[in-house]
Structure 1
Amino acid sequence: MLSYRKFLSQGAIRYNSSLAVAMTMTFILLQGCTIQSLLNTTQDSIHSSFMYNRSTADILARMEVGKANSRVGQQVRNALLFALNGGKQKDDGRYQVNLIITKTTQNLPLSRDIQAPISTSLELSSQYTLLDKKDGSIVDTGKCQTLISYNQNYQNFASDRALRDAENRGAKALAEKLRLVIARTISSL
């Protein structure tokens, strides 16, 4: 009986020591991991001369968005302005983002029946340039895109309305992607 108790106590010691080692290793590995919001408050080098912290959300809220040259471009611009600052553009911001929006449609021939709906994909792409208005320098440039599917049919009004709805959905999705990319760029400055 004594050897059985001795065996149990040694097993418990082995189990407790391996658990302690595993917990220590996990703690050591997790010390290097940090989770930080994109919209956190940090001492920004841009605003260090003012001697106060300005959050990324505040910088985004004051961002200017350039003019659009198409209906879809205007939809993306409006959605981006709303995502950045609730739709109220403020003129005292330091940054400006200029957008070039392109759209491409492609029919996917799935059926040969003339009255069957045709599946169509709409691709919205945005070439963006983030400018520092203070000195006119380019802070970031890149491309975002989104793909939206919709159905066309033999009725012209229904097809036009489906395209318009797909453009509106795509504009909102593209604006959200742009907001995330811009927020990431601003938070890394």
Structure 2
Amino acid sequence: MLSSDQPVAPKARKAVKACGFAVLLSFGLSGCVEPLYGPKIGGVSIVPDMQAIKVEPIPDRIGHYLENELIFALNGTGSSPTPKYRLVVTVRERLSTPIVNTVTGEAQAGDVNIDADYRLYPIAGGGEPIASGNVTQFVVYDRSSQRLSNVRAARDAEIRNAKVLADQIRTRIAAALATRGS
């Protein structure tokens, strides 16, 4: 008897049917998804609105990193369009040492936690924010017995946090502007 003459097992039939159903379902749902940054069904894009957001100055070193990352994430073109919105961000940073060597008493790891509250207002007046929320990010880094390497590692952790926070804020603002415009 040839292998092609053998009957197909019921489990294999079910698996083929399930795969076929999943493919058909994905074709049916493919028209329901539209890109966040691309043209919408009405032909309007949120990219010009994102570029027209003015980021208010954020104090402290982590604020400086986050402000620069937000400016680049929202308008990486280098152009300066007339602002339609202003973004106000407040940042809280906590440093901790979760792992301590019991023999030497020195920290072996550091933890940088950053909370950022953001509010997007129209530039022409106050009122309720268009988008608001809180994003949190933390990074763990290794510490050594060298003080300067610990300072640099903590600063690198802050920069990594700022990049992730800026990306999270940009995505949330884009979603709020996209749903507001439709």
- What is the TM-score normalised by the length of structure 2? 0.76
Which residue number in structure 2 is paired with residue 41 of structure 1?
39
Distance apart, 1:69 and its partner CA: 0.9
Which residue number in structure 2 is paired with residue 30 of structure 1?
28
Which residue number in structure 2 is paired with residue 77 of structure 1?
67
Residues 100-158 of structure 1 show CA distances to partners (whole Å, capped at 9, x for unaligned) of: 01111121125313286511211111100110112323112110111111122232111
Q: Give the percent of matched residue pairs that are identical in Structure 1 and Structure 2.
A: 21
| 2:86 pairs with 1:112 | no
Matched length: 161
- Work out the CA distance in 2 between the residues paired with 1:89 and 1:71: 25
Question: Any gaps of 5 or more consecutive residues in structure 2?
Answer: 1-12
Which residue number in structure 1 is paired with residue 133 of structure 2?
142
Amino acid at match of 2:178: S
Counterparts of 1:84-99 in structure 2, within 5 Å, are 84-86=74-76, 88=78, 90-99=80-89
Give the root-mean-square deviation of aligned CA atoms: 2.8
Which residue number in structure 2 is paired with residue 131 of structure 1?
121
Distance apart, 1:32 and its partner CA: 9.0
Which residue number in structure 2 is paired with residue 151 of structure 1?
142
Which residue number in structure 1 is paired with residue 58 of structure 2?
68
Is the 1:128–1:142 Cα contact (8 Å) retained in structure 2? yes
Q: Secondary structure of the residue that 1:159 maps to in structure 2?
A: helix
Which one of the candidate residues 134, 145, 151 is aligned to 1:160?
Answer: 151
Distance apart, 1:89 and its partner CA: 6.3
- What is the TM-score normalised by the length of structure 1? 0.73
Is the 1:63–1:90 Cα contact (8 Å) retained in structure 2? no
